[in-house]
Every structure is written in structure tokens, then in C-alpha cells.
Amino acid sequence: MTTSASAFIKLDEEWGAHNYHPLPVVISEADGASVTDVEGNRYLDFLSGYSALNFGHRHPALIRAAHEQLDRLTLTSRAFHNDQFGLFCRELAQLTGTEMVLTMNTGAEAVESAIKVARKWAYEVKGVPADRAEIIVAAGNFHGRTTTIISFSDDAVAHDNYGPYTPGFITVPFGDADALRDAITSNTAAVLMEPIQGEAGVIVPPAGFWAAARAACDDNNVLLIADEIQSGLARTGKLFALDHEGVRADLYTLGKALGGGIIPVSAVIGRESVLGVLKPGQHGSTFGGYPVACAVGRKVVELLETGEFQQRSTELGSYLHERLNELVGHGVAEVRGRGLWAGVDLDPAGKSGREVSMGLRDNGVLCKETHERTLRFAPPLVITRDEIDQAIEALVKSMG
Ligand SMILES: *Cc1c(COP(=O)(O)O)cnc(C)c1O
């Protein structure tokens, strides 16, 4: 049996496709905000599976819900009803103040589904001529990895050499309300954007952008689709990042934390007048809304209903930002974000993002660079003040 970290890393490199460049750490156990590697070293997890682990690793209530469901019923397919699906849909709709839930598995599938729904709505409700629907997206976007989604990515690494690309997408600068309004035509079906761009480095648009985007959509009968897969479900201190702006979207895409860090669960939620365009057979997924997904998703909804995680993210998030802002001018160039979510631009004169990530690992904190000089801090929302202090101390040491 192989036990040392280097042996596992060698296996990954020999047998796994090389589509990631992981930090050299081999995790074998986790609990709450901490993970343990195969050599027994403990680390604070400041990435949280890109926000899939908002409730921490192995939250007892979520694990219990999954176990109970596994012991009863795992899969029916949607060819039949089951006793979890409808309850999950109702509970998620009531939590989010929406009317309908389309269940899928991964985030990319939720975005794909929202694109399909928006196009269908454009042809059947808005009256856009066949095959002319346009969707406006933002520069620097990240919405997943399918062929259609990477067709409108401007990140060469994600995009290049996968053509021919899906047409029908118009890119405008993120946070520029005038450019967005100018890009709208009579064929515009939707605006699809992240409320705060995650992969781009936790980019918060200027104040007032979202209200202006909402008004532009309203004035032109255009759907606003908020991709809250990373920003949603308490990450920023509210259920949705858009809630900070007092703006409602017509469709929201959810994923990541919706599966409690246990299984992939995603959804498109919205009004019946929009999602209702889908009729039997027109869209689907074998696993979408399967009983295990619904049982875990229902428990996630229950955890969010208490507001406890939103409150933790607000309070500890302001502490995290306060501590990070102390480092501006001392190795850090800029800090952005909201709640327990921060993009930290490193001083160009200092070490690279990768070097600082490696240093953090050596000092017991796991996070990952996004682009050359940006670190993303997104700890599980169960993190404590002391653990934030530990991470800041580790960051100072790693930048030095
Ligand atoms: C992660 C992410 C996705 C894609 O989710 P997958 O589950 O990896 O397919 C889509 N949109 C945003 C904003 C994301 O952060």
C-alpha cells in the first residue's frame, strides 16, 4: 500500500488527466474547517471547495440526512415520483421567494439549463425570431466548462481550441451599466452574470450597477439571470449576493453549497412564467433531483433558514476584511469581497500567488491562487475568529 504524499501525487500525475494543477497536499480526512493529510498534518481549509463547503466539512446534520436517505432510497429517475423531490422544490422555492425549481447536478448544467430556458422564453413568450436570441454576458466571466459556456469565456486557457463555438453571446465589461444597456437589442433574451465574479478574483461591481442592470432589463423585457453558484447561499452574508443590492433576478442558478459538500446538486429557480416554458421531455437529467440530492438539499435549506450562517459570514467576514486590509501596503496591494469571501491581490514586487499558496500550506492554511497575483480566501462559514487570526499570521509569514 502506498502511504506517503509523494506516492499519491505520483499516481494522480500518472493516471489522472492533467486538467488541474493541485497544490502538493494529499487530504485524507476533514472535519468542520480543518482537513488532515495522509501524513497527519492538519490545515485550515480557506478554499472550501470553491464555496461548495459553506457549512464546513461533514456537517453532522447533512451527513445524517445523507445516511438516512442512503438507507431508504437512492435513485428513482424522474420517470416516477419520489417522496423527496416535491418537498425539496417547495422548501427551496419558499426559502428563496421563487415559484419553481428545475433540479440539475453540476453548476455548469444549471447554467446550461438557464440558457436553454432563456432562449425558449425569448422565442415562445417574447417573440424573438427563430435562432436570433442573444444573451449578454460579462468580460471575465466564469460559468463552468461545457462547450457552450466556454464559447463566451474570454479566458484563453478555458476557451482556446474547443471550437466551433456556440454563437449568440455578447460580451460587455463587468460593472458597466451603460455598456450593458447599449448592448440590448430587440433580440436580447437575457443578461447572464455573476453578482460578484468569483474566479476572476472576487470582483465586486460598482455600487448601483445591479439596480441599473435590473432597470435596463425591465425597460426592454429582458431576463436577468444571476449565477449565484459561488456567491449564493450565505457566502457573502446574505442568501444571495444580489440581496445586498436590493435586486431580484428572474432566474438564479445555484450549485456548489446546495449539495452540502457531499454530492453535486444544482438548480435553476425562478417564476413560473419563465421556467414554465419547459414541457415534458424538453429538458432533463437522469440524476437531477434524485432522492439523495433532494434529502441533502432539504437539509441545506433548513440550515439556511436559521440565518445562522448568513450572520456568521457577515460578522466574521467583516473581521477577515479588517485583518486583510491591515496588510495593504505590507505585501498586499488590494482586498476585495464581501462576507467570508475575499480576493487578495498581492504586491507585484513580492512573491507570486503560487509561491504564497505554497507558503500558506507550509504554515497550515490551504488556499489557491486565481490568476498570477490573486489569492482567494473563502473559508467554511463555521470558521472561528481565532482561526482567521491563524490564517492571517500564516499569510504574513508566507509573503515575507
Ligand atoms: C463553479 C461555478 C460554476 C460551475 O459549477 P460546476 O459545478 O463546477 O460545474 C458556474 N458558475 C459559477 C459562478 C461558479 O463559481
How far away, in angstroms, is 29 Cα from ligand 1 center? 24
50 touches ligand 1 (CB under 6 Å): yes
- Using the predicted structure, report yes or no on whether residue 190 has a pLDDT greater than 80: yes
User: Long-range contacts of range 212-216, CB-CB < 8 Å, 24 or more positions apart?
Assistant: 212/177, 212/180, 212/181, 213/177, 213/180, 213/247, 214/247, 214/248, 216/177, 216/180, 216/181, 216/184, 216/191
Q: Are residues 363 and 220 in the same domain?
A: no
Is 64 a domain residue? no
Q: Are residues 33 and 48 in the same domain?
A: yes
Is 68 a domain residue? no
- Mean pLDDT (whole number) for 107-118: 98
Mutation to probe ligand 1, out of 149, 194, 229, 370 (largest number of atoms < 8 A from CB): 229
Q: Which residue has the cell 436590493?
A: 246
- Final residue in a domain of this structure, among 259, 284, 305: 305
Q: Which residue has the cell 460579462?
A: 138
Paired with 251 in beta bridges are 225, 270
* Secondary structure of residue 326 in the 3-state scheme: coil
The Cα 341–Cα 203 span in angstroms is 11
Is 66 a domain residue? no
Is 239 a domain residue? yes
- Using the predicted structure, report yes or no on whether residue 181 has a pLDDT greater than 70: yes
Structural domain of residue 242, as residue ranges? 73-305
Atom of ligand 1 nearest to the CA of 230: 15
Cα distance between the two ends of the chain = 39
Q: Are residues 118 and 206 in the same domain?
A: yes
Enumerate residues 6+ apart whose C-beta is below 8 A from 315.
none
How far away, in angstroms, is 152 Cα from ligand 1 center? 14
Q: Which is catalytic among the residues 8, 85, 88, 142? A: 142
Angle, helices 291-305/60-70, rounded to nearest 10 degrees: 150
Please say whether the beta carbons of 59 and 27 come within 8 A: no
Q: Are residues 273 and 332 in the same domain?
A: no
Let me know if 227 is a catalytic residue: yes
Q: Are residues 147 and 263 in the same domain?
A: yes
Is 196 a domain residue? yes
Q: What is the pLDDT of residues 268-305, one digit of tens each?
A: 999 999 999 999 999 999 999 999 999 999 999 999 99
Q: What is the pLDDT of residues 135-174, one digit of tens each?
A: 999 999 999 999 999 999 999 999 999 999 999 999 999 9
Q: Which three cell numbers stand for residue 105?
A: 447536478
Q: Are residues 314 and 343 in the same domain?
A: yes
Please say whether the beta carbons of 268 and 143 come within 8 A: no
How many domains does the chain contain in total? 2
Q: Which residue has the cell 499519491?
A: 8
Query: Mean pLDDT across the chain, nearest whole number?
Result: 97
CA distances 27 to 41, 103, 225, 391, Å, are: 9, 30, 36, 18
How far away, in angstroms, is 217 Cα from ligand 1 center? 24
How far away, in angstroms, is 231 Cα from ligand 1 center? 10
Please say whether the beta carbons of 351 and 332 come within 8 A: no
Q: Are residues 248 and 111 in the same domain?
A: yes
Closest-CA residue to 101 (of 241, 276, 243, 300): 276
- CATH number, domain of 184, equals 3.40.640.10
Q: What is the pLDDT of residues 9-59, one digit of tens each?
A: 999 999 999 999 999 999 999 999 999 999 999 999 999 999 999 999 999
Please say whether the beta carbons of 250 and 271 come within 8 A: yes
Q: Which pLDDT value is given to residue 313?
A: 98
Percentage of the residues of the chain whose pLDDT score is greater than 70: 99
* One-letter amino acid of 279: K
Q: Which pLDDT value is given to residue 371?
A: 85
Q: What is the pLDDT of residues 222-271, one digit of tens each?
A: 999 999 999 999 999 999 999 999 999 999 999 999 999 999 999 999 99
Q: Which pLDDT value is given to residue 1?
A: 45
Q: Which pLDDT value is given to residue 377?
A: 97
Report if pTM > 0.95. yes
Closest-CA residue to 274 (of 252, 294, 290, 291): 252
Q: Which residue has the cell 499558496?
A: 357
Q: Are residues 184 and 40 in the same domain?
A: no
- Using the predicted structure, report yes or no on whether residue 179 has a pLDDT greater than 70: yes
* Secondary structure of residue 110 in the 3-state scheme: helix
Let me know if 256 is a catalytic residue: yes
The Cα 238–Cα 46 span in angstroms is 19
